[in-house]
Copies of this chain bind each other. A is one copy, B any other.
């Protein structure tokens, strides 16, 4: 009835063996005689000893068996994004046989200051960075300094860092070409967040975009529509897509909107409906990701489907390689075009941008 939790030393003493022997009984790393094992186990249960303290064991071993997953967004919001969900699925799969758990971390500068586990303080053996945070470089530096192997999903990791990527530019270009083939010329891009502060608004200079995915997908769109305007949303969600969609339509009605995510596209469609525009007759909308967006029926987005689960799995395998001291190969996945019912030929050829009148001006509230 001591106030203090039993330790392996207590167990060893009770069993009449040495601490190392007791340790070995629990780890199983060395043969132990049955008699000894029984003595130790009996002593353990009589003392209420539940096995080695993981903290102490980790310290001694030098590894925690934990893989950090770093998101750029508020943790809560992250799970609501189907792409992330599928990636986690693949990641968990690939990391499990490794004997590692997943620790959810977020890239929040404010978190560094608090006591919250962050990239600087979490007891992780490896890290998977998801998304292309502007702070990515800092994070990589921190992790490199800590000697923690890293795999980056969708971000410019610099040389020597394993990355899991998508053919974002080619994929976005493909959708854009699809629109051009349909006859569109007056097109607007609705992009993912573009700057660190995630301000919404028209993008003045593509070079200002610090977020890789945003810039690269936009470049893909520009390969086909060099002059198209681009409006940055504050996040990839239906609501933000809706807000951005209103803003876009307030400035004029293009014949097509290239959204950088399916969720944004869904929001765009809602904004179009609100403005009295029919999709795809009055406005074509394309998405990106290939996730099923809840409640979007009867629309089926024309979009680029990305292998989200595979990306996660690849990241897990890369982490495994790194933790075993092997080199992790970078990998680039390919999106596939998926035609839906949200794109069609524009109603009439457009002589010049935005001369189709602004139907939305009256309809929006």
Contacts and interface: CB of A to CB of B under 8 A. Distances in A.
Interface of A: 5, 48, 50-51, 53-56, 58-59, 62, 64-66, 75-77, 79-80, 85-86, 88-90, 92-93, 96, 99-106, 111, 114-117, 120-123, 142, 145-147, 292, 294-295, 297-298
19 contacts: A48-B145, A50-B120, A50-B142, A51-B121, A55-B58, A55-B59, A55-B62, A55-B123, A59-B59, A65-B115, A75-B93, A76-B90, A79-B86, A79-B89, A100-B117, A101-B122, A102-B104, A292-B295, A297-B298
Nearest to A87: B79
B105 A104 contact: no
A116 B100 contact: yes
A252 to B, nearest CB: 32
A117 B55 contact: no
A130 to B, nearest CB: 14
A323 to B, nearest CB: 12
Contacts of A96: 75, 106, 111, 116
Q: Which of A5, A56, A121, A147 has the most CB of B within 10 A?
A: A121
A105 B76 CA distance: 18
A115 B99 CA distance: 5
A61 to B, nearest CB: 9
A92 to B, nearest CB: 4
A85 B75 contact: no
Nearest to A293: B294
Q: How many copies does the complex hold?
A: 2
A76 B100 CA distance: 14
Given A54-B121, A54-B122, A99-B114, A79 B85 contact: yes
Nearest to A300: B295
Contacts of A59: 53, 55-56, 58-59
Nearest to A120: B51
A138 to B, nearest CB: 12
Given A65-B117, A117-B101, A123-B55, A50 B90 contact: no
A298 B50 CA distance: 53
A105 B54 CA distance: 15
B123 A64 contact: yes
B85 A80 contact: yes
A5 B147 contact: yes
Given A85-B85, A101-B104, A117 B297 contact: no
Given A76-B88, A101-B122, 13 more contacts: A48-B145, A54-B123, A55-B55, A55-B58, A58-B123, A75-B89, A92-B104, A96-B116, A99-B114, A99-B115, A102-B104, A104-B104, A294-B294
